Amino acid sequence: MTGQAEADEAARKAREEAASRLFSGPVAFLRSAPKLAFLPDPNVPEIAFCGRSNVGKSSLLNALTGRKAIARASVTPGRTQELNFFDVGRAEAEGAQPLFRLVDMPGYGFAKAPVKLVEQWKTLVRDYLRGRPVLARTLLLVDSRHGLKDSDRAMMKMLDEAAVGYRVVLTKTDKISASALAAVAERTAAELRRHVAAHPELHLTSSEKGMGIARLRAAVVADALGEDWAPQVKAP
């Protein structure tokens, strides 16, 4: 390993450790918003999580925050029907003000709900994504066992059109073979290059095994607070 490569690796590990320390501090559910009128004041950056129903959003949120049940996981697709907000950290100068928020969005795809209710969810999600000034990044979760589906592509198109930057995160990577994972990752990465709002880095994660969680956690914090965010962090 060259001197530059060693320096880059040390910097990566330092970012991951700092992000882990941040998430070991205050993380708390704030509120659910069934309509835009119930959104919290747009005073801190937000990172939104979206994906097909049962893609593993709740499990990923729990893994990233190091909590067992900060977000409730369910075997019933479509359980999340509102925008759920979670405060993360606290800013030195702002007292109780969080550093940023995570936003758990309603799942899409095969949600078991009446058509009218699903349309209401779609409208809520679309209006939030297009009009939220503090939205720093969206994470689009994709089940690695299935790869991108048409519903994911529709979401990517909407994010592109709204100029909302997003990262694609492959979930449940421990559930498929290494060769199958490599193939789906290659196909997904190739497709990402055709989308103007997509971040070029593809994240491979397993909430159950912890694979890729530290790297994604550091990326989430950097997206929310900027690359030089570390001095803002207050020890738990």
**Domains (range + CATH), the chain:** 3-232 (3.40.50.300)
| Residue 124: pLDDT over 90 | no
**CA–CA distance, 227 with 163 (Å, rounded to integer):** 21
DSSP letter at 29 equals E
pLDDT at 222 over 80: yes
Secondary element (H or E) of residue 103: strand 100-104
Kindly report, residue by residue over 80-99, the tens digit of the pLDDT. Answer: 578 999 999 986 555 578 99
Q: What is the pLDDT of residues 152-178, one digit of tens each?
A: 999 999 899 989 999 999 999 999 999
What's the predicted TM-score (pTM) here? 0.89
Nearest to 207 by CA among 54, 75, 62, 78: 62
Residue entry with tokens 């529709």: 154
Confidence of residue 74 (pLDDT cuts 50, 70, 90): very low
